[in-house]
Chains A and B, each alone.
Chain A
Amino acid sequence: MTSEAVGAPRAASIPRAFGIDKRYLAPILVTIVLIAGQVSFAFLESWSRTFLAIATAIGVEMLLGRLFAGQWPHLASAYVSGISVGMLVRSPVFWPYALCSAISIVSKYVIRVDGRHIWNPSNLGIVAMLVLASDTVASLSVQWGNTLLPMVTVWCFGIVILRSLGRLHITLTYVASFVAFAALRSAVTGHAFLAEVAPITGPMYQLFIFFMITDPKTTVHGTRAQCLVAFLVAAVEAALRLLQFVHAPYYALFAVGPAANLIEIYVKRRAAARHGG
């Protein structure tokens, strides 16, 4: 889901906490999610489908990076996109895994404003599949077994890694907002508060809150702005949930993320114009 590698310099700072290139942190975390989920509960549709998604994402990234950006791209981003597609897409057939990965990666090269791509790639890919191929595709919707251990494991690694990347505030803002909106929805619908909170305990949300909404390349800059966007994603999601959209979080990020990016780009252009004048 992250897309930081597009056009990024090869060399990067090495967080002291891990002693490795920080661009590898997201791939490490998403791999932990995959392994925790699969070893504990075999939550993948199949290994082969997930491998197909990863291979497609990496293959398309290499091809497009070489052909259209003139360099071999760093593959961490494509790996994360592929593995996310491999986990989040649910389909009894193979082609949606490859197609979703391809749409995700190609979108990064096609939909660009001022050199930035404004949609989170895998969010766009999954929304495209849910809308255009709903007869064949659903999203990961069930939980990981009946213990908290896998979720706690992911949260422990996630917090450490996001903190080192300086993006934990986005996740925490979203989670706090989600819980607050769950209480609001509970008051509106009369449904149990726990029922409204329930979705965030599932594996899909762990991917959503640790990878999609924190993607460095498709989030706005500045801590306050990032927190505001995370809150707005939760707010739009709450509204969509009240309208009974099953895939509300994907749609909310799909709508709010690019809008926030475009506003930021517009503000930057104005500022640049003022400075230029």
Chain B
Amino acid sequence: MNPRGRPILLLLFLALLATPALIRRFGRPQAPAATTGSDSLARYGFRLVESARNAGLDFVHEAPTLDAKLAHIMPQVTAMGAAVSVVDFDRDGFADLYVTNSREGSSNRMFRNRGDGSFEDVAARLGLAALNAPEAGVSMGSLWGDLDNDGDEDLLLHRWGRQDLYRNDGERGFVRLDAGLPAWANVNTAALFDFDGDGRLDVFLGGYYPEQVNLWKLRDTKMMPESFEYAKNGGRKYLYRNLGGGRFEELSETLGLTSRRWALAAVAADLRGTGRPDLFIANDYGVSELFVNEGGRFREMGRETGVGYAPKSGMNASVGDVLNQGRLGIYVSNISEEGILLQGNNLWMPVGAADGLPKYENLATAMGIALGGWSFGAQFGDLNNDGFLDLYLVNGYVSASKDENYWYDYSKIAGGHEVVIADAKNWPPMGARSLAGYQAKKLWLNDGAGRFIDVAPMVGVADRHDGRAVVLADTRNRGVLDAIVANQRGPLLLYRNETAPGRDYIAFELQGSCRDDAGRAPCSNRSAIGARVELHWSGQLQVQEVSGGSGFCSQNQRRLHFGLGTDARLEKAVVRWPSGRIEELKAPEKNRVHRLTEPAA
């Protein structure tokens, strides 16, 4: 070794060691800080004000108490169940909120929107409150859709327990249907979609824990995942074809939905431009799955499309035309904890296609939306009406002690072999420790050029609850999207949006032309789930699709909201109905909600 080279080598070595600090200091784009509300309006074009209590949304989620054999890890095995979905159940033109609870004997809430900015709980009157009981299980989430095409929204309630459909009978409330759904399954995700194009909404249910597991009466403690990232011992999947008349036929095996991964989030959307919805499933403890719809049959093509390689802890599935290219990207949330586990969230962007299949690349890191925390629900929506979809992400798993955390013990067991990890009795006791608790939320603002910047604290999102479901809805019909967040063991939050003046929007409320559930296609399901609007304005293009559930245990307002920026010049809106019918609106009027009904055949 040449001794004269040592000083140079030493300098080089020190420079290498200093590189991370330099990258932190100079390498990451930061949002310019706003210090006041008016400042955030000027800088970012909007601000959010938490207003749940003022609006009458007085709700705190409660978790269940499972079999005593799980007492030592109860906080983490009962870390889901806070869910929210948006529905206009009474057809008064205002978005109502259905919120699930999970303690045995607790009540779900139906917060009816009075139209004046306040809500009232009418769940008990409608028969939708007392739905959490040991014999039926406890709620994990809900979805809404007009399953019988009679003009009002019916409810799918999925539980750790019995899965139920409730028919909306208007003023008489809701009636539970004997639809043949599973009498017992541990379902943490669902989707309503018309997969076979018969004009009737079908039901997908994704199991988390295996269906033979009754979490209140465990036969043994071998009910945990067999692997942290390669588990295939989760619950089964169900696909119920709607036969009309309140009857359903289970076809998952026949049609190719056979995996036993631990499903936590599903979204149905037309990802291949076929006019039929494909089904994307984000699985915990494993890879995501993309079931492509081949004329009413499904084929899992995760690997072929690129989304099914790297196993992570999928907890969210939502879609959005992130770059205004007329193509939907898919956002999957995972776990990121500094220095311990950095899975990073995924933004699967279509970058090409071959043999009728899209090819996806994960661009989350490149776009700045990879690192959230222990992330759950996320939704795309244009919160500042600038013409680009922003992203609201909630984080936080178990917030308990502020001084002690469970990460060490969690990482110890997570790296173990299946005989160790799969048996709950091997898991170290959690006590009062937190696990990824008190985490900040992310509100990533899309700059339209491929970068997102977190502005959450600057625009008013400062809560540290354990977020689960987030939905976006225009709760006061003002042309702006508010955010509603359901927190595990925490309060329901309503972030009211104030958008800077001068920014335009346009919204579409769609109604399919089917008028009964006899399945006489061609007509579209009345909820228009699966309908797609392609909006052209001021040289821009954006696609949105009506969804029967997205995010984590949530469903946005089905009204499609497009921010347009300032001085927008509308060119056209092209509506593609689930029936395949195409309708074009020339220069639709901006700053209003367009209520469109599919023309009869």
Contacts and interface: CB of A to CB of B under 8 A. Distances in A.
A204 B309 CA distance: 20
B247 interface: no
B417 A41 contact: no
B1 A192 contact: no
Contacts of B13: 103, 106-107, 110
A41 B407 contact: no
A42 B311 contact: yes
Interface in A65-84: 67-70
A92 B342 contact: yes
B411 A42 contact: no
Given A90-B341, A197-B416, A245-B408, 19 more contacts: A42-B310, A68-B1, A70-B2, A91-B342, A92-B336, A92-B364, A106-B9, A106-B13, A110-B10, A133-B20, A134-B338, A142-B227, A142-B229, A146-B231, A194-B423, A194-B426, A198-B417, A198-B420, A199-B412
Contacts of A69: 1-2
A166 interface: no
The listed residue with most B CB atoms (<10 A of its CB), out of A42, A195, A196, is A195
B370 A92 contact: yes
B174 to A, nearest CB: 42
Contact of B19 (A99, A112, A148): A99
Contacts of B24: 135
A1 to B, nearest CB: 18
B370 A201 contact: no
Interface of B: 1-2, 5-6, 9-10, 12-13, 16-17, 19-21, 23-24, 226-233, 287, 309-311, 336-344, 364-365, 370-371, 407-409, 411-423, 425-429
Contacts of A190: 429
Interface string A95-131: 1100100110011011010010000000000001110
Contact of A196 (B12, B339, B412, B423): B412
A115 B2 CA distance: 11
B599 to A, nearest CB: 47
Interface residues of A, number: 61
25 contacts: A68-B1, A69-B1, A92-B336, A99-B16, A99-B20, A109-B1, A135-B339, A136-B20, A141-B414, A142-B414, A143-B415, A146-B232, A151-B417, A194-B420, A194-B426, A195-B409, A196-B412, A198-B415, A199-B412, A199-B415, A201-B417, A201-B420, A202-B416, A204-B415, A241-B412
A246 B310 contact: no
B341 A138 contact: yes
A235 B126 CA distance: 64
B16 A146 contact: no
A68 B311 CA distance: 42
Contacts of B418: 146-147
A191 B428 contact: yes
Contacts of A136: 20, 23, 342
Nearest to B334: A92
A244 interface: yes
Contact of B426 (A92, A99, A151, A195): A195
Contacts of A45: 310
Contact of B226 (A46, A130, A146): A146
A132 interface: yes
Contacts of B17: 103, 128, 132
A90 B339 CA distance: 9
Interface of A: 41-42, 45-46, 64, 67-70, 90-93, 95-96, 99, 102-103, 106-107, 109-110, 112, 115, 128-130, 132-138, 141-148, 151, 189-192, 194-199, 201-202, 204, 241, 244-247
B252 to A, nearest CB: 23
A62 to B, nearest CB: 15
The 5 closest A-B pairs by CB, nearest first: A198-B416, A134-B339, A92-B344, A133-B20, A244-B408
Contacts of A138: 337-342
Given A106-B9, A195-B428, A201 B339 contact: no
B310 A68 contact: no
B136 to A, nearest CB: 33
Contacts of B421: 143, 198
A136 to B, nearest CB: 7
B5 A201 contact: no
Contacts of B344: 92
A213 to B, nearest CB: 18
Contacts of B231: 146
Of the listed residues A90, A92, A148, A194, the one surrounded by the most CB atoms of chain B closer than 10 A to its CB is A92
Given A69-B1, A132-B20, A137-B342, A197 B365 contact: no
A16 B213 CA distance: 55
Contacts of B415: 141-143, 198-199, 201-202, 204
Contacts of B429: 190-191
A103 B413 CA distance: 31
Given A138-B339, A199-B412, A92 B365 contact: yes
Contacts of A192: 425-428
A195 to B, nearest CB: 5
A68 B11 CA distance: 14
B417 A143 contact: yes
Contacts of A199: 412, 415-416
A153 to B, nearest CB: 14
Contacts of B428: 189, 191-192, 195
Contacts of A93: 365
A129 B408 contact: no
A92 to B, nearest CB: 3
Contacts of B427: 192, 195
Contacts of B20: 96, 99, 129, 132-133, 136
Nearest to B8: A68
Most B CB atoms within 10 A — which of A90, A142, A148, A246? A142
A68 B6 CA distance: 8
A246 B2 contact: no
